[in-house]
Structure 1
């Protein structure tokens, strides 16, 4: 198993699905060029940390997030039920530094104000091995799949064969303070770049 943080060839859609289905998320990485851009971006954030940058980008307030996670939804069970239950609790953006997928794959991020309890006893940060995989919270996983199906399949008629999602466990997270899902969509029928951009913009604006 390679532990390099970047790869030189695009990850195929078949590979994407294999890695996600097996939770081998350490195999999903950026290209060397995208990795360099990402590190330069982080280095350029003078005076603010990554959390502050994301909060500014999303126009979210840290006090609200702390209230939701510490007072309103204290337990993992409460968080599991509340996550994605209302469009005011999440926001969708493009990944500015996507992993190295094929050109027809769109890499979205779904940011959640509520911490997503996707894994049980996630202690991956304590282990040297990147392939130490924690147990998945099955109820949370099912809730996410229902949430995405209601938008991508029911509303936009994107078949389940053409999208998948994952959430990195702690060891693989570069931004840990704000929970987020990675949603990958393969656009088979849209070849024109302009049409692709219009479709993605519409999708993000109506992701609810």
Structure 2
């Protein structure tokens, strides 16, 4: 199947960056390193984040198959990834403040990370509390940004010890870039994280179970 056919049959809207990636081989692909990621996130230039060509093709295939089997990505995530205790959306969180109550969020390693160098772990934090965004831009409000930043510092950076804040980056995709729009989530990137700590962060708790 040629690239034009792949783009035509894509199970989600492809960005210009996605289309450019699909024209490459894995050998031609340049992985995002830490310094580049920091610059991208500081500039809020999130549309340039990209997956490795073979990963993007597999992600597109998996997305199409998953939608065919489950009807939507939301149904799949509810069945296999998100806490059973949450039920179905619209959710009823314990707190109206995002990430205030541990039962209102779930930390998971991203199944489909961007093309990152091997020292970087891509985490997704799912939230049953809505994270307010600006209706005109689709980006977070200043209040939301401050709330999320405080959570990321508390949950991730502080646990890494001295210098931890220099090893954590985070972002929330603009609404237009989200592949799963009905479920709130943020992305967290961590450099050189110990597997034991990663397991602690992502462990399912009793309050996640129905």
TM-score after normalising by structure 2: 0.76
Distance 1:160 1:43, change over 3 A: same
Match of 1:13 in 2: 34
User: 1:52-82 CA distances to partner (integer Å, 9 max, x unpaired)?
Assistant: 001112134675531538xx88xxxxx4xx2
* Partner-residue secondary structure (3-state), 2:202: helix
Q: Check if 1:182 corresponds to 2:187.
A: yes
User: For structure 2, which runs of at least 5 residues remain unmatched after alignment?
Assistant: 1-14, 206-210
Distance 1:67 1:179, change over 3 A: closer
1:55–1:61 CA contact under 8 A, matched in 2: no
Distance 1:44 1:197, change over 3 A: farther
For residues 104-115 of structure 1, what are the structure 2 equivalents within 5 Å?
104-115=119-130
> How far, CA to CA, are the matches of 2:157 and 2:170 in structure 1?
14
Aligned-pair Cα RMSD in Å: 2.5
Match of 1:54 in 2: 77
User: 1:2-40 CA distances to partner (integer Å, 9 max, x unpaired)?
Assistant: 922137110111110111011100011111111011112
* Partner-residue secondary structure (3-state), 1:165: strand
Displacement after TM superposition at 1:160 (Å): 1.2
User: For structure 1, which runs of at least 5 residues remain unmatched after alignment?
Assistant: 74-78, 124-133, 191-195
4+ residue runs over 4 A deviation: 61-64
2:126–2:183 CA contact under 8 A, matched in 1: yes
Distance 1:91 1:122, change over 3 A: farther
> How far, CA to CA, are the matches of 1:167 and 1:122 in structure 2?
16
Displacement after TM superposition at 1:205 (Å): 2.2
* Partner-residue secondary structure (3-state), 1:93: strand
* Partner-residue secondary structure (3-state), 1:47: helix
> How far, CA to CA, are the matches of 2:155 and 2:91 in structure 1?
28
TM-score after normalising by structure 1: 0.77
